[in-house]
Chains A and B, each alone.
Chain A
């Protein structure tokens, strides 16, 4: 059972979408996240930098096919924060709608 813990850093919608996507993957390339969330390069870079500074995301730059790629993965701290945040959101919804708490 994850302890609900609202995370102000993750909550903004763009960042939450990025973290949710990374939480479902071992890693994802920059282009994948950008295209799926319909973000610009600069917007995604900015959000990833914020998450990296918080220790929630690791940025790797593997070289494959002689091309440099950027790959992001959620750190254990990021995963814990995300799980706690989702639990907190569910708690807010459940408090307002007792039937949801039973689902």
Chain B
């Protein structure tokens, strides 16, 4: 150990950090998840606009069931690539919480937006708002995971 200079130790730590970053870059959800969620959102909005309570209930239950079946496998952000499984310590438990929090936020935005658009006299307020929210999901979802990656990199550096 005596023969390792501080500069060499620094270089070695840099290479450790690079290796860690290579894996941190893999923390993400597959694109198909975001597109699927967005399409489901629009479909649910469309069904809601049909104003059949039983159809809305069935659509909501179906949406929830499909999401519950799919989400546990991908929502932790550790399995975007089939070539690597990011460690739980690195991805943290906050990934699932952030994603699910984002979905709740989208639901609240959809409700508020639909009320506002409906008050303005639109014939399909929920569908219109859902399309808007779906765009947010597709564009904002991956950005949400970029926040998780930055956080993971910061925590790993401690």
Chain A interface residues toward B at CB < 8 A: 6, 11, 13, 16-21, 23-29, 31-32, 36-37, 86, 88-90, 92-93, 95-97
Contact = CB atoms under 8 A, between A and B. Distances in A.
Contacts of B83: 28-29, 31-32
Most buried by A among B23, B24, B88: B23
Interface of B is mostly: helix
A11 B23 CA distance: 20
Contacts of A31: 83
Contact of A32 (B1, B12, B18, B81): B81
A95 B11 CA distance: 15
Interface string B115-158: 00000000000000000000000000000000000000000100
Contacts of B85: 25-28
Given A17-B18, A24-B20, 16 more contacts: A13-B11, A13-B12, A20-B18, A20-B19, A21-B23, A24-B90, A25-B23, A25-B90, A26-B86, A26-B88, A27-B85, A28-B84, A32-B81, A89-B16, A90-B9, A93-B10
B1 A92 contact: yes
Contacts of B18: 17, 20
